[in-house]
Structure 1
Amino acid sequence: MESVPVRCPACRRDHMYVAPAYPCPCGSPTAPPLLRGAPVTTITHRTWNDDWVTARCGACGRHDQWPQPELCCPCGAVLRIPVRPVASIGRAPGTASRPVRPSHIPLPRTAAAPRPAFRPLTIRTARDAVGAAALYLKWLGYRDVVQPAARPSSRIDLRAAGLIAQVDSTTRATALRDVECLWLNALSASVSAVLFSLAGYAREARERADGLGIPLFVMDLTGTPQPVNSPADELVSTGA
C-alpha cells in the first residue's frame, strides 16, 4: 500500500500514513491515491464536498465516491490528507459523470462491521419514542438495553452496558439543561451518554453536547434516529 509522510501542523509531529482501502462493488480493494508532498490541513468543520473524494478502481475502472483520507494525531488534531485528482477522461463505460454517495462505504476514519438495515418502530406515543431509541441502541451494538417500567426522577429512559440514554419526546427543542443533566448522570455512573429528541436541539444544547462529546440524534415519527453532531456520526460509524 502507498504511504506518505505527514507532519501535523498543530504539534509538528511526523507520521507515516497509509490510506485505508474499501471494497469496490466489483470486490477489489480501492483507496484514493495520495498526493505526496502536498500540505495537510486541520479539519475544523465538515462538509459533504470535503468528506468524500472521487477514486478509480484499478480493477474495473469504476469511478466512485470514497471517504476523504484523514489522520487523527495524538495531539487531538484531525488532519485531511490530500489526494491526487482523478481525470474525467478514460471513465469506465456506463459510469455516471458525477458519482453519488454509495451506501457500501462507511464514514471516514472508521470501517465498522456491516450491520443489517435498521428496522424502525413507528412513533405514536412518548413510550413509542423510548422503544424506538432502545431498538436503535441495540442495532448500534449495545448490550442489555433496559427500559424502566416508569421514568425515574433522573429522567434516564434507557440503560445499557456502559451507557445511559435520555429520550426527549416533547414538542420543544431539547435545552442546554437537558444536555448538562444527562452528562452529570453519566459522569456519576462512569458511563457514556446518548440523547434522542423528537423536536431537535437548541443551539446552546448542541454546542454543549459537542464540547462534552455527547452523541445527539433526532427522530421523526417513523422512528428512525438521525445523527446531528460529530459524536453521533462517529457512533453510527463505529457502533458500540
Structure 2
Amino acid sequence: MPESVPVRCPACRRDHVYRAPSYPCACGAPTAPRLDPAAEPAVTAHRAWDDEWLTVPCAACGRGNQWPHPELGCPCGTVLRIAVTTTPSADSGVPPAAAGPEARTARPRFRPRPIHTARDAVTAAALYLRWLGYRDIRRADQRPPQGIGLAAPGLLAQVDPTVRPAAPRDVECLWLTAMTESTDCVYFSLAGYTDDARSRADRLRVPLFVLDPSGTPRPVNTHAHAASKRTIA
C-alpha cells in the first residue's frame, strides 16, 4: 500500500494528500486500513453508526479490529470519506513472523488520539477498550440518557462528551442497564464527575474515567484503576 494517497475535494476541487492513521492491535502490531488510490472520496452528508467503523484485519495475527473509517476534513467545510479496500495493510510495520507468543502476552503502550469533537471522544473510549482486550465493540442497543453507549461481550460502556460533569443519576442509569444485561460497566466522561457521582460510583463499583484532551482515559476511582490493569483474553 502506498504511504499516502492523493485526494481531491469534489466541492472546491482542492488537492490534498491523505495518510490513514494506524492503531495498535491487541497483539501489539500497528494496523491501518488499506487505502484505494483509484477510488474517489465520498462526501459525508449524513452519519450512521454502521458507516463510522470498518473491520481491519491485523497483518501480524489476523485478528479483526474495528477502527474508525478514514475521513478528511477539507478547509472548505466538506468532510470526505476516503475509499478503502478489504485487504489488510501490507506495511503495518510488523511482519507476520513477529506475531509470536511474546507479542501476544506483552500489552503495548496505549496510543491515544487527540480529542477535538464528540466523535473523537467516542473513538478514544473505543480504542481504550480495544487496548484492554475487548473485541467486537459496537454501539449499544439501548441509548443512554446522556452521551453514547458502547457495548462489547461482557461490557457496557457510556461515553459522555458533553461539558457537564456526570451526575449520580447518569452513573445509576448505566449501572442499572448493565445489571439487567448481566454485564460489567464503565463510564467515560469528558468533563469529569460531581462529588456525588463519584461517591455513587464507588458504592456501585462502577469504574470512572476522565478523557483528557490527548485522548487518554484517566482513572478517577479505585475501580477504574483496577479496570485499567485488566487484560481480556
TM-score scaled by length of structure 1: 0.50
Q: Give the % identical residues.
A: 56
> 1:147-203: CA deviations, max 9, x gaps?
36x983555521001111101111111100100000011011111100001111101
> What is the identity, as a one-letter code, of the residue corresponding to 2:168?
L
CA distance in 2: counterparts of 1:129 and 1:235, whole angstroms: 19
Residue 220 (structure 1) aligned with residue 218 (structure 2): no
> What is the identity, as a one-letter code, of the residue corresponding to 2:226?
E
Q: After superposition, where does 1:1-240 map in structure 2 within 5 Å?
A: 114-147=106-139, 152=143, 156-240=148-232
> What is the identity, as a one-letter code, of the residue corresponding to 2:205?
G
* Structure 2: gaps (5+ residues): 1-104
Larger relative contact order (C-alpha < 8 A, sep ≥ 6)? 2
CA distance in 1: counterparts of 2:119 and 2:207, whole angstroms: 21
CA distance in 2: counterparts of 1:224 and 1:207, whole angstroms: 23
Paired residues of 1:134 and 1:147 also in contact (CA < 8 A): no
Distance verdict in 2 for CA 1:122–1:151, change over 3 Å: farther
> What is the identity, as a one-letter code, of the residue corresponding to 1:205?
A
Paired residues of 1:219 and 1:226 also in contact (CA < 8 A): yes
> What is the identity, as a one-letter code, of the residue corresponding to 2:143?
P
Distance verdict in 2 for CA 1:147–1:183, change over 3 Å: same
The ranges of structure 1 where at least 4 consecutive aligned residues each deviate by more than 4 angstroms after the TM superposition are 153-156
> 1:34-62: CA deviations, max 9, x gaps?
xxxxxxxxxxxxxxxxxxxxxxxxxxxxx
CA distance in 1: counterparts of 2:144 and 2:125, whole angstroms: 19
Distance verdict in 2 for CA 1:231–1:140, change over 3 Å: same
The DSSP-based 3-state class of the residue aligned with 1:171 is coil
> What is the identity, as a one-letter code, of the residue corresponding to 1:238?
R
Distance verdict in 2 for CA 1:188–1:154, change over 3 Å: farther
Question: Whose radius of gyration is greater, 1 or 2?
Answer: 1
Distance verdict in 2 for CA 1:127–1:189, change over 3 Å: same
Q: Please, what is the CA RMSD of the aligned residues?
A: 1.9
CA distance in 2: counterparts of 1:223 and 1:157, whole angstroms: 18
Paired residues of 2:167 and 2:194 also in contact (CA < 8 A): yes
> 1:83-126: CA deviations, max 9, x gaps?
xxxxxxxxxxxxxxxxxxxxxxxxxxxxxx53101111211111
TM-score scaled by length of structure 2: 0.51
Give the number of equivalent residue pairs: 127
CA distance in 2: counterparts of 1:144 and 1:182, whole angstroms: 20
Distance verdict in 2 for CA 1:144–1:186, change over 3 Å: same
* Structure 1: gaps (5+ residues): 1-112
